[in-house]
Amino acid sequence: MTIIHDFDQKCPVCGKLSPQPMLTSTNAMDYPDLDMRPAEMQRSTMHTWVLECPHCGYAGNFRNETQITEDFLKSDSYQTCDGMEFIGKLSKRFYKAYLISKESEDLTKCFFNLLHCAWDCDDKNDPNATKIRKLAVEHIDKLEYDESERKNFLAIKADLLRRSGEFDRLIEEFSDIIIGEEIYDDIIQFQIKKALKKDTECYTVGDVKNQHKT
Ligand SMILES: [Zn+2]
Provide Rg for the chain, Cα atoms.
18
Rounded to whole angstroms, the Cα distance separating 82 from 23 reads 30
- pLDDT (tens digit per residue) in 181-205: 999 999 999 999 999 999 999 999 9
- pLDDT (tens digit per residue) in 56-109: 999 999 998 999 999 999 999 999 999 999 999 999 999 999 999 999 999 999
pLDDT of 6 strictly over 60: yes
Rounded to whole angstroms, the Cα distance separating 150 from 146 reads 7
Whether 174 and 195 share a structural domain: yes
pLDDT of 214 strictly over 80: no
Whether 65 and 165 share a structural domain: no
Q: How far is CA 20 from CA 47, 50, 92, in A?
A: 10, 10, 17
The band of 213, judged by pLDDT with boundaries at 50, 70 and 90, is: low
Whether 154 and 83 share a structural domain: no
Whether 108 and 161 share a structural domain: no
Q: Which of 144, 179, 204 is the last residue of a domain?
A: 144
Stretch 37-55: mean pLDDT: 96
Say what percent of the chain tops pLDDT 70: 99
Whether 173 and 110 share a structural domain: no
Query: Distance, CA 126 to ligand 1 centroid (Å)?
Result: 28
Query: Distance, CA 129 to ligand 1 centroid (Å)?
Result: 28
Q: What is the pTM assigned to this prediction?
A: 0.96
Query: Distance, CA 51 to ligand 1 centroid (Å)?
Result: 10
Q: Average model confidence (pLDDT) for the chain? A: 96
- The residue segments making up the domain with residue 137 are 1-144
Whether 158 and 134 share a structural domain: no
pLDDT of 158 strictly over 90: yes
- pLDDT (tens digit per residue) in 95-139: 999 999 999 999 999 999 999 999 999 999 999 999 999 999 999
Query: Distance, CA 92 to ligand 1 centroid (Å)?
Result: 16
Query: Distance, CA 91 to ligand 1 centroid (Å)?
Result: 19
Whether 104 and 29 share a structural domain: yes
Query: Distance, CA 131 to ligand 1 centroid (Å)?
Result: 29
Q: Which of 100, 115, 144 is the last residue of a domain?
A: 144
